[in-house]
Amino acid sequence: MKIVFATNNAHKLAEVQAVLGDAYELVTPRMCGVEEEIPENQPTLEGNASEKSHYLRARTGLDCFADDTGLEVEALDGAPGVHSALCLRRSRLRGQQPPAAAQLEGEANRRARFRTVISLLVGDEEHLFEGVVEGRIVERESGAEGFGYDPLFVPDGCDRTFAEMSPDEKNAVSHRGRAVRKLAAFLRARGEK
């Protein structure tokens, strides 16, 4: 089954394809002729995921899904949250340490969670799936795998950052992996009807 996934990020595409398996062929927006940046103007992860999937559906007419992910840091009252990617991009452009790490300097409470929300548009219906992983922010980036905040986040029950894990290890415990497994289970059940 072909389905459009609202990303052109090769790392994210590979992560999701690994979880979905061979039963699904992921198609990117570029493959469908959508070259422009897909808008993310909503104040919540759910809102952004929904906005992106509806945008893609309007331009392609195809079944599609989109996700939005946020790092929610306890000591920062849930920030950067929905603004995680933007904050990280800005800090990288300035050659600065990621904000979640810089703002926690000297802070004892380093608890955080990653949360992913997926909006699936299939037929005329929208379905939302959420994946959450609890953990903590480390003081220094570690590891070369993954992307985004992966070098800073250690999930509960682990002693390595996401960036120190193989893609399979990360997918087994990650927020995105959990949300995608829910999506895959829904698609399989729908296909069996």
Nearest to 21 by CA among 146, 162, 187: 187
What is this structure's pTM?
0.90
Q: Around 103, how many Cα atoms within 13 Å sit in the side-chain half-sphere?
A: 17
Q: How many whole angstroms separate alpha carbon 53 and alpha carbon 138?
A: 33
Q: Average pLDDT for residues 131-141, to the nearest whole number?
A: 94
Instruction: Identify which has the larger pLDDT, 10 or 101.
Output: 10
Q: Residue 106's pLDDT band (boundaries 50, 70, 90)?
A: confident
Q: Residue 152's pLDDT band (boundaries 50, 70, 90)?
A: very high
Nearest to 64 by CA among 117, 119, 22: 119
Q: How many whole angstroms separate alpha carbon 118 and alpha carbon 97?
A: 28
pLDDT digit string, tens, across residues 41-89: 999 999 999 999 999 999 999 999 999 999 999 999 999 999 888 887 7
63 annotated active-site: no
Percent of the chain with pLDDT over 90: 63
- Strands of the chain, DSSP E: 2-5, 25-27, 64-73, 80-81, 111-122, 125-137, 153-155
Phi, psi of 102 (to 5 degrees): -60, -40
Indicate if the pLDDT at residue 97 is higher than 80.
no
Catalytic site residue from 63, 67, 68, 124:
68
Least confident of 12-16, 32-36, 137-141: 12-16
CA distances from 191 to 5, 66, 128, 129, 184 (A): 18, 20, 18, 17, 10
pLDDT for 46 = 97
Q: How many whole angstroms separate alpha carbon 176 and alpha carbon 18?
A: 11
Q: Residue 134's pLDDT band (boundaries 50, 70, 90)?
A: very high
Nearest to 38 by CA among 63, 13, 58: 58
